Homo-oligomer: A and B are copies of this chain.
């Protein structure tokens, strides 16, 4: 064998290898909702023993796909960051494409309209949120990041959104895989979604990650000046 110097390339096989097991897929899928879950729960969700789960979770964290947060005797695992979440969503979409002879015009409508991506808002509603915030100059985009303006801060207070801008960039753009246009990700986007859910402006849908837009939510987008396309 000539050993053609199998150069490390970008090395994405480290990532895909970590994601190439059904049990690990189940764990990542369970965590994709955005919540952090303890190892034991992930084990039973994936249908494997605690020991196996531990090994799987180690692989996933070593690949930097998950991060751990130890609290007492529990170890809470979660998706490492939005970038990884975006990758997972991309994988899910490409995988779904081949499976079911193409779902007519893409995903089921509820998922297209409004859903959670990791722990922020995605779908048509996610895009509308971004457009609204940009249009009212509550946030400004610079390249792949964004930040809150003074008016944006005031808007947060008015809408009772619990967010204090830290020193690091508090927003990023995350590509929306149904709308093909970026929506907002990061701590600020998470705070908005949290507020929308706790005020019942958005409610969980029958379809797993989808959300239902309630009258209160419609009013929220109305106030923001963001037209809702449905």
Contact A91 B4 (CB under 8 A): no
State how many copies of this chain the complex holds: 2
Does any Cβ of B come within 8 Å of A175's Cβ? yes
Our pick among B1, B22, B174 for the contact of A13 (Cβ within 8 Å) is B22
Does any Cβ of B come within 8 Å of A17's Cβ? yes
With A13-B25, A47-B5, A178-B144 in contact, is A87–B91 under 8 Å at CB? Answer: yes
Closest Cβ of chain B to A141, distance in Å, is 9
Name the residue of chain B whose CB is nearest to the CB of A141.
Answer: B180
Which residues of chain B are within 8 angstroms of A178 by Cβ–Cβ distance?
144
Which residues of chain B are within 8 angstroms of A191 by Cβ–Cβ distance?
none
Does any Cβ of B come within 8 Å of A12's Cβ? yes
Contact B143 A4 (CB under 8 A): no
Instruction: Give per-residue flags for A85-100: 1 if the beta carbon is below 8 A from chain B beta carbons, else 0.
Output: 0111011111111110
Interface residues of A (CB under 8 A from B): 1-6, 9-17, 19-26, 29, 44-47, 49, 63-64, 83-84, 86-88, 90-99, 106, 143-144, 172-175, 177-182
